[in-house]
Amino acid sequence: LYALREKTAMTMLNATDGIDRALAVRAENPGKPVVFADIWDNPGGGVPGDGTFVLRQMLARGLDRFAVATIWDPIAVTFCLAAAKDMLLIKSTNHFYAGFEPIAAEIIYVSAPSSYPSNPAVTDYKKLTRPVWPRVADPWKDAGNLPP
């Protein structure tokens, strides 16, 4: 699996590029949902999942017909319901894939600002003492880097 890391790493777009892509995909596939994965505001990663950065970008661009799942912010959810918006924005890295891939026109992974590490190449790890990919092309190249 490690040898496949370059081929299997998901492509992440910033929110603006992700929205542009979603609009293009929706125009080409009007009958299928586009899934937007805000992967760094993922409760499974230990953050609250209440970030609204991508949602604010979508609303600022005048998007309609989208849903958001999940946000733990009852007030924000109330505003969303009142706005009657119906594109799917989810807060997950990949747990949703099996359920949505068969019905989605496309799944777009978005990297938005969050407290969850969004780029291992530059994340300021506090306790990391060994080389890691993608900072190092092959951190296991030297036997001294093998985990205990």
SS3 of residue 147 by DSSP: coil
Cα distance between residue 125 and residue 144, in whole Å: 20
Mapping DSSP onto H, E and C, the string for 29-59 reads CCCCCEEEEECCCCHHHCCCCCCCHHHHHHH
Query: What is the reported pLDDT for 86?
Result: 45
What tens-digit pLDDT sequence spans the chain (148 residues)? 677 877 877 788 888 998 999 889 888 988 788 888 887 777 777 777 777 888 888 889 888 777 776 666 666 656 666 665 446 676 777 777 788 788 888 888 887 777 666 677 778 888 888 888 888 888 877 766 565 5
Supply the DSSP symbol for 102.
Answer: T
Query: What is the reported pLDDT for 88?
Result: 62
Cα distance between residue 74 and residue 19, in whole Å: 25
- Any residues with CB less than 8 A from the CB of 104 and at least 6 apart, and which? 32, 33, 34, 35
- Give residue for tokens 């125009």: 27
40 vs 55, 68, 111, 114, 135, CA distance in Å?
A: 14, 15, 6, 6, 19
